[in-house]
Amino acid sequence: MVAGFPVGVGETVRSIASLLVAVVLLAFTSVEARSEDQSGTSPGWHWQVERVRGNVVVETKDGETIALERGMKIRRGWKVNTGSGRVKISRGQENFSLAPNTVATLEAKGLFVRKTVVYQDRGRIEVDVKRRWYRHFRVETPLLAAVVKGTKFTVNVGRRSASVSVGRGLVNVHDFASGETADVGAGQSASSAPSRSVGLNVRGKNKPAVKAGAKRAPAFKTRVIRNVPVSASQAKAANSQSKTGKAKGSKNTSASSGGKANSNSSNNGKSGNSNGNSNGNGNGNGNSNGNSNGNGNGNGNGNGNGNGNGNGNGNGNGNGNGNGKNK
């Protein structure tokens, strides 16, 4: 109880105080994050062109096409197309470079802290950003996502494949088709080619651990790739189906070891009651139990042990009826 207040009112006061503390902390971290974003020569979220070679164009959100020049700011939602040229985009000490034949769109995310997201449709991007207390930079591709934890890395996107290789730091890679994830460190790489084989392929002297996760769709509108969910609803359905399949698999295993299901194919006998197994032709009915490779089952009420009466062994063809129990 808060001093001077009844029990119920005291709890309410405590809750309000906790909420105010949380708001103050969130505001403080937000200001800190924004001050980091505003450091260097480029204020705010916006990135600017540090160096450009060849004819590199950008498409604005209004559909206007502009040729990039040194010093020009890249606004959120602008799509950069390098063509045969290349461009280096920076903000303070952070930068990323787009190789020839690369198409990428820059977006700003986050309510209290600004995060940069690059939607890389194709081509090659080299990223060099500093470590922060929050994950402030992410690259999304049609096949996988790379979330920065403070690093230098490269993302390659082909027509039906994508890869991430890390030169410094750590990057979390999420494969959309399989749902698998991996924290990829310096000297390691991860790739995805779901049209050929679903799953995250990792490499390196010490391969990063691959963990199971949820399937997901690309975060932006792009081409359809085999085995990659095309929408969030399709990914949700695939994840639900996967969970249901695992649950059914568990039930079937239980039935094989101790259930009462009957089978007409294969031999009838494991440890459960009238379960069918391979290589036999007999049928198990009621509570009779058979043995591994035999095709016959015990009859009547006798209890058969080993190779004694009540067990059908060898290649005999019989049917087990009644309540006979075989051990």
Shared domain for 59 and 203, answered yes or no, is yes
Shared domain for 75 and 165, answered yes or no, is yes
Q: Which amino acid is at 48?
A: Q
Shared domain for 31 and 174, answered yes or no, is no
pLDDT for the residue numbered 226: 95
Shared domain for 107 and 178, answered yes or no, is yes
pLDDT in tens, the chain (327 residues): 545 545 455 566 566 766 665 544 444 444 444 444 443 333 456 899 999 999 999 999 999 999 999 999 999 899 999 999 999 999 988 999 999 999 999 998 866 667 889 999 999 999 998 876 555 789 999 999 999 877 899 999 999 999 999 999 999 999 999 999 999 999 999 999 999 999 999 999 899 999 999 999 999 999 999 999 999 999 999 999 887 766 565 544 443 444 444 444 444 434 444 344 434 444 444 443 444 344 444 444 444 443 434 443 444 444 444 444 443
Write out the two tokens for 289. Answer: 């139990």
Domain containing 134 — which CATH number? 2.60.120.1440
C-alpha span between 235 and 217 (Å, rounded): 6
Shared domain for 17 and 52, answered yes or no, is no
Shared domain for 151 and 107, answered yes or no, is yes
Is 226 part of any domain? yes
Structural domain harbouring 156: 47-232
| Phi–psi pair at 131, nearest 5 degrees | -80, 135
Is 219 part of any domain? yes
Taking residue 166's Cβ as centre, other Cβ atoms within 10 Å add up to 24
Shared domain for 109 and 221, answered yes or no, is yes
Shared domain for 165 and 300, answered yes or no, is no
Is 118 part of any domain? yes
Is 248 part of any domain? no
Is 207 part of any domain? yes
List CB contacts of 174: < 8 A, sequence separation 6 or more: 144, 145, 147, 180, 181, 213, 216
Is 225 part of any domain? yes
Taking residue 265's Cβ as centre, other Cβ atoms within 10 Å add up to 12
Is 254 part of any domain? no
Is 314 part of any domain? yes
Shared domain for 12 and 67, answered yes or no, is no
Tally of domains in the chain: 3
Shared domain for 31 and 170, answered yes or no, is no
